[in-house]
């Protein structure tokens, strides 16, 4: 059989194979069924109970595997649910190595594992690949958890180099990358040596903030089988309707990301021209600008900036009108937040200080609105807050 032709990402992502539908539906149907009839008392079909598998979820997972470059993809009920499934591969007494700038929910789960299961996490500066070397233990190290870019300081990790260090010294350890901020369109960790790539499907993959989902992709079938066992045992597989919504959202990933990213570059330039310290890998002032260009095909649409004053930051956030005050990112609408007050508030203040997470930091998540309107609204908010001179 001739090998199937592969197309560019924007084509692949919108092309969903649906060969088994008896009615040749142009869109994958929603199999809104909890159970499936069996042919006999002893002969089971491919599906029996939607906790274990559902045709709609199967189509979604097959499509995700294609666009992620994964051997196997799995869909669960949230991004944190995806990380929970992954961390269940770690046993008591084993260790995790993670960054020192993490999403608040990730930090909370790692803290819980330390207290409840004696699973220790070493937090390191992942911007220096060699910082991981003193913590690699051939016996204890089980997971190396990377965010790149990190949330919310937008630090970059050298995935290929770190993966090489880990696999050379700890053959039983798995390199895991939270790729939510970049999406498979801009960054493909599995092709750089990572063993697992996961996403909050709620964000860019869905794109509309109307569903909760988590996505896991694996570089090997064996790891995929281990994770599926956990999902089936715990019952956290994504339901058919949300699977259908996510499959629909993924089709427009490339066109959405192109628009959002182009606008983010404009917003970054605007803020830097007004003298703000901006954290964004698309800025030539970013200390790891060249590294990010090597491992990703674009800077994405999330950035953060510092005002130098918590009060000013609060006034900016509250003065914005087009920018909705909300946690999360990846939506078609633009969002604004103060991470230390919202998404990262669960991290104790003293730990935020140790990790140099500025209390005045504002995070912007750029949507698909007209960029001129976004810039006008941001300018008005900065002026109203006293962050920039009205005359200037």
Active site residue 103: yes
d(CA 215, CA 218): 10
Burial class (CB in 10 A: 0-12, 13-18, 19+), 111: middle
178 a catalytic residue: yes
In the numeric block, the tokens 């180099």 are attached to: 161
- Rounded distance, CA 73 to CA 50, Å? 17
Instruction: State the pairing for strand pair 196-200/120-124.
Output: unpaired
* Residue 203: active-site member: yes
Nearest to 330 by CA among 213, 209, 243, 249: 209
Q: At what angle do helices 240-250 and 55-68 cross, to 10 degrees?
A: 30
Burial class (CB in 10 A: 0-12, 13-18, 19+), 266: middle
In the sheet with 214-218, reading across from the earlier edge strand, the strands are 72-76, 214-218, 196-200, 174-178, 141-147, 95-99, 120-124
**Selected catalytic residue, list 57, 142, 155, 203:** 203
Instruction: Give helix 79-87 / helix 104-117 axis angle, nearest 10°.
Output: 30
The tokens of 308 are what?
């130098």
Residue among 105, 120, 121, 192 at smallest CA distance from 156: 192
Out of 47, 57, 100, 103, the active site residue is 103
CB atoms within 10 A of CB 248: 17
Instruction: Report the alpha-carbon distance of residue 256 to residue 366 in Å, rounded.
Output: 11
The dihedrals phi and psi of 28, each to the nearest 5 degrees, come to -60, 125
With both helix axes pointing from N to C terminus, report the angle between 253-273 and 371-384 in degrees, rounded to the nearest 10. Answer: 40
Catalytic residue among 84, 100, 178, 195, which? Answer: 178
Residues serving a catalytic function are: 51, 103, 178, 203
């Amino acid at each position: 059989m001739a090998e199937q032709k592969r197309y560019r990402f924007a084509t692949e992502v919108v092309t969903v194979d649906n060969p088994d539908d008896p009615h040749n539906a142009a869109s994958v149907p929603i199999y809104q069924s909890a159970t499936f009839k069996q042919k006999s008392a002893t002969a089971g079909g491919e599906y029996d109970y939607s906790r274990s598998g559902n045709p709609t979820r199967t189509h979604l997972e097959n499509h995700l595997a294609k666009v992620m470059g994964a051997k196997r993809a799995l869909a669960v009920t949230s991004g944190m649910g995806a990380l929970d499934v992954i961390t269940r591969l770690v046993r008591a007494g084993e260790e995790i190595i993670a960054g020192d700038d993490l999403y608040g929910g990730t930090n909370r789960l790692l803290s819980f594992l330390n207290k409840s299961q004696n699973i220790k996490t070493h937090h390191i500066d992942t911007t220096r690949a060699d910082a991981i070397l003193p913590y690699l233990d051939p016996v204890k190290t089980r997971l190396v958890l990377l965010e790149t870019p990190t949330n919310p300081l937008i630090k970059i990790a050298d995935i290929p180099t770190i993966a090489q260090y880990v696999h050379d010294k700890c053959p039983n350890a798995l390199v895991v990358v939270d790729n939510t901020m970049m999406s498979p369109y801009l960054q493909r960790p599995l092709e750089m040596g990572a063993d697992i790539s996961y996403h909050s499907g709620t964000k860019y993959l869905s794109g509309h903030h109307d569903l909760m989902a988590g996505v896991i992709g694996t570089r090997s079938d064996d790891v995929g089988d281990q994770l599926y066992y956990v999902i089936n045992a715990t019952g956290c597989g994504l339901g058919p309707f949300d699977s259908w919504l996510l499959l629909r959202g993924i089709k427009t990933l490339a066109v959405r990301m192109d628009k959002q990213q182009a606008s983010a570059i404009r917003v970054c330039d605007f803020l830097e021209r007004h003298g703000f310290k901006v954290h964004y890998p698309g800025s030539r002032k970013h200390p790891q600008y060249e590294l990010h260009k090597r491992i990703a095909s674009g800077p994405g649409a999330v950035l953060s900036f510092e005002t130098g004053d918590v009060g000013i930051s609060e006034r900016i956030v509250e003065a914005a009108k087009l920018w909705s005050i909300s946690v999360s990112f990846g939506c078609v609408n633009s969002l604004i937040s103060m991470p230390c007050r919202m998404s990262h508030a669960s991290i104790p203040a003293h730990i935020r200080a140790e990790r140099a997470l500025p209390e005045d930091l504002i995070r912007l998540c750029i949507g698909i609105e007209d960029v001129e309107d976004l810039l006008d609204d941001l300018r008005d908010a900065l002026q109203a807050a006293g962050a920039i001179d009205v005359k200037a």
